[in-house]
Amino acid sequence: MRVENSRFWSKVSVGWVLIVIIWLAVPQAPGQNKKAWQTGKVTQAKEHQVTSGNTETKQYDVTIKVGKKIYSGLYTMKEGEPDLGWENYVGMERLVLIEGDTLTFNDVMGRPHSLKILSSKDAPEAKAK
């Protein structure tokens, strides 16, 4: 009887070890959709010219180069949000996250901001010197 009891607990222990291994392996499985933050460089930023309507909400036309793509978007400040001073970001590299038609980045204080992507195009090839 003692031998059977020993085998039982041995099988239970092996089972738990296998469960733990599988549990640890699943999050690292390839093919999972992870958000990929990339380096992007702000190449242009200017205040959006409002033709009519709400002139109280500040908006900026922003162009950011990410890898081999150039994204043009419209950034609309949220109510109560401090002005980022987009002109100061030109030439600066930031980590960006592109999800559908939204580009998200963190400002220098680490606060997340999003802008709506209006268009994207391939960046021109760099010329050899």
Domain span at residue 47 reads 37-122
Q: Is residue 3 part of a domain?
A: no
In a domain, 32, yes or no: no
Q: Which residues of 25-56 are buried (b: 16+ CB within 10 A; e: fewer)?
A: eeeeeeeeeeeeeeebbbbbbeeeeeeeeeee
> Would you say residue 53 lies in a domain?
yes
* Structural domains in the chain (count): 1
Q: What is the pTM of this model?
A: 0.65
Residue 119: band (very low, low, confident or very high) from pLDDT cuts 50, 70, 90: very high
pLDDT digits (tens, 9 = 90+) for 58-107: 888 999 999 999 999 998 888 777 777 788 889 999 899 999 999 998 87
Per-residue pLDDT of 12-50, as tens digits, reads 677 777 777 777 776 655 555 567 899 999 999 888 887
Q: Is residue 7 part of a domain?
A: no
Asked if residue 61 belongs to a domain, the reply is yes
Distance CA 59, CA 75 (A): 5
